[in-house]
């Protein structure tokens, strides 16, 4: 960590100042057809997000009432556990979390190029719509296949190809995974087409190049999921599964969000190009130098030597540093700007800052704690992991995706018709709800489980008898306010997106001269 900080700080950075800085106003930037097409990813992702949080509420309630859901069975004759067993609900909840965040990033990655270049490739919007259609088919087929496979509708090889593969986070059948891989490749082609003016002008370590490297690393690591079959030894299968799951979360995803957010903050004039490039290059270094080794804290659990637990635990805590660096500098610049005439993108920046906070709490503090070898040995699979996962996944990656949505929408709506009040309400519902869920309910249950694992053994901590304890049941009920706020925030968000679809600006076929001002800030010399 010390070496990383020294590497980033090598080279004197100027004090934050708003002097001479002109922030592009939303109404001064044209909207292109491909950006309108990219915005269609947002309501699709919002639908997946809403389904995920509703399933999360159902799963939380299953720990209290295992035979029903608030009397629905008695009132309507609906046997919810027969329609949606716990295992399927959990699988959908986990997979939808990845899919809605990834869908939002795909849309954001295709929205930014015209903003940064003032350039619209021929038929770009048509290809963006094709990618969106393919995504809908893959998501629908994958989620439906999980339900059909788990309920025995597929025989022989079909369960593995079209149904439920049975590996957590990689449940969807191989055919749907292949479709997702093809979608990543198409996204990369479209990103290259859109970013070509920047790619031609900047060095190979420039921000546009880094976005492509990060997107390519997501695709490359996803290939590890194709290196096993149902007959492969389970230890080998788990090895490659974690190369997809945790190298995505602790490597490629972090790389991608630092590149995207760095470029976005530069476009807002909250970050210099030089600082963003240093942060992204540092992230790339950490992905290769710590992410690859950091994933090894899972290896002991799949049958590999125990020395991987401490090695992986140490290295897996370093990936969040670059994001903290660029947010620290961006906050300083934001304060300098808001001390004057104001800053037009306060709401998107709020989401980005919230992401940094939750990244530090969820991935940094909680991730570091549960990866300590002595703790990790006893807490694996307990509610401490649940707390870490929710704070890190939704708090870090989710808020970044939602911040990009706020930025995209604000640029796509005339300033006089822009209303951020609903998004702001969702922002506070999500933050307060997540804090209540994690700190009032989930983590206390996790610490109780850890204590039982220390004193009575791991089996006792994971037993049904533990979950039936009165204090644990009380803590489960204490989760209700937080979960409710998250669901309410998501409903408001989805409703706001429907409302804003009717006030989007018309797209421009040709760039205006002012549009290139953003690109000049990206490729210009700010040393």
Report, as an integer, the average pLDDT of 441-454: 93
- pLDDT of 246 above 80: no
Asked if the domains at 30-201 and 344-527 fall in one CATH topology, the answer is yes
In what helix (H) or strand (E) does residue 412 lie, and over which residues does it extend? helix 399-412
pLDDT at 24: 62
* Domain covering 30-201: architecture: Up-down Bundle (1.20)
Report, as an integer, the average pLDDT of 279-293: 69
pLDDT at 478: 93
Please measure the distance between the N-terminal and C-terminal CA atoms of the chain and give it in whole angstroms: 26
Domain ranges of the chain: 30-201, 344-527
Q: Rounded to whole angstroms, how far apart are CA atoms 395 and 414?
A: 29
Q: Rounded to whole angstroms, how far apart are CA atoms 160 and 400?
A: 33
In what helix (H) or strand (E) does residue 73 lie, and over which residues does it extend? helix 72-76
The Cβ of residue 11 has, within 10 Å, a number of other Cβ atoms equal to 10
103-104-108-110 Cα dihedral, nearest 10 degrees: 20
DSSP letters for 271-283: S-HHHHHHHHHHH
pLDDT at 297: 73
- Answer positive or negative: Cα dihedral of 493, 496, 501, 504: negative
For 500, list phi and psi in degrees, rounded to 5: -75, -20
210-214, 472-476, 496-500: the lowest-pLDDT one: 210-214
Collapse the DSSP code of 168 into the 3-class scheme (helix H, G, I; strand E, B; otherwise coil) and give the result. coil
Q: Rounded to whole angstroms, how far apart are CA atoms 125 and 507?
A: 11
pLDDT at 341: 55
DSSP-assigned beta bridge partners for residue 164: 172
DSSP code for 192:
H
User: Could you tell me which of 267, 274, 271 has the C-alpha nearest to residue 116?
Assistant: 267
Q: Rounded to whole angstroms, how far apart are CA atoms 453 and 461?
A: 5
287-291, 450-454, 490-494, 516-520: the lowest-pLDDT one: 516-520
- pLDDT of 22 above 60: no
CATH number for 344-527 (one of 3.40.50.1110, 1.20.210.10, 3.30.420.40, 1.10.3720.10): it is 1.20.210.10
- Mean pLDDT (the chain, rounded): 80
**Predicted model pTM:** 0.86
């Amino acid at each position: 960590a010390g070496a990383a900080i020294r590497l980033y700080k090598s080279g004197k950075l100027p004090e934050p100042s708003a002097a001479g800085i002109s922030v592009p106003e939303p109404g001064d930037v044209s909207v292109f057809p491909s950006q309108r097409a990219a915005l269609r990813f947002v309501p699709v992702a919002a639908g997946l997000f809403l389904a995920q949080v509703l399933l999360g509420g159902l799963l939380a309630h299953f720990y209290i009432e295992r035979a029903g859901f608030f009397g629905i069975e008695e009132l309507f004759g609906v046997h919810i556990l027969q329609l949606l067993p716990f295992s399927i609900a959990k699988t959908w909840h986990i997979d939808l979390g990845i899919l809605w965040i990834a869908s939002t990033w795909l849309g954001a990655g295709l929205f930014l190029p015209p903003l940064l270049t003032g350039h619209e490739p021929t038929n770009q919007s048509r290809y963006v719509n094709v990618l969106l259609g393919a995504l809908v088919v893959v998501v629908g087929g994958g989620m439906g296949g999980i339900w059909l496979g788990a309920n025995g509708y597929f025989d022989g090889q079909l369960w593995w190809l079209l149904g439920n593969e049975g590996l957590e986070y990689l449940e969807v059948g191989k055919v749907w995974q292949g479709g997702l891989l093809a979608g990543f490749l198409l996204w990369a082609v479209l990103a290259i087409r859109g970013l070509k003016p920047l790619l031609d002008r900047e060095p190979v370590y420039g921000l546009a190049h880094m976005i492509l490297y990060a997107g390519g690393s997501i695709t490359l690591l996803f290939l590890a999921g194709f290196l096993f079959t149902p007959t492969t030894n389970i230890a080998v299968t788990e090895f490659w599964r974690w190369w997809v799951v945790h190298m995505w979360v602790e490597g490629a995803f972090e790389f991608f969000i630092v590149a995207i957010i760095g470029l976005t903050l530069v476009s807002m004039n909250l970050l210099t190009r030089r600082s963003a490039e240093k942060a992204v290059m540092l992230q790339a270094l950490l992905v290769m130098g710590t992410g690859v080794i950091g994933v090894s804290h899972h290896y002991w659990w799949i049958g590999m030597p125990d020395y991987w637990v401490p090695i992986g635990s140490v290295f897996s805590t370093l990936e969040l540093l670059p994001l903290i660096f660029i947010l620290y500098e961006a906050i300083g610049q934001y304060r300098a700007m808001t001390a004057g005439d104001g800053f037009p993108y306060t709401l998107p920046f709020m989401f980005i800052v919230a992401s940094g906070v939750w990244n530090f709490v969820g991935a940094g503090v909680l991730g570091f704690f549960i990866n300590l070898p002595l703790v990790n040995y006893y807490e694996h699979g307990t509610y401490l992991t649940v707390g870490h996962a929710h704070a890190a996944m939704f708090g870090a990656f989710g808020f970044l995706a939602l911040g990009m949505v706020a930025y995209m929408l604000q640029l796509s709506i005339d300033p006089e018709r822009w209303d951020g009040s609903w998004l702001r309400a969702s922002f506070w519902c999500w933050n307060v709800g997540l804090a209540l869920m994690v700190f009032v309910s989930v983590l206390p249950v996790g610490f109780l489980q850890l204590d039982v694992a220390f004193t009575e053994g791991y089996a006792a901590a994971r037993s049904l008898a533990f979950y039936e304890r009165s204090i644990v049941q009380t803590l489960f009920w204490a989760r209700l306010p937080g979960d409710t706020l998250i669901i309410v925030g998501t409903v408001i968000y989805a409703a706001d997106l429907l409302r804003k679809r009717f006030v989007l600006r018309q797209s421009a076929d040709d760039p205006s001269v002012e549009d290139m001002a953003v690109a000049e800030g990206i490729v210009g010399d700010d040393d």
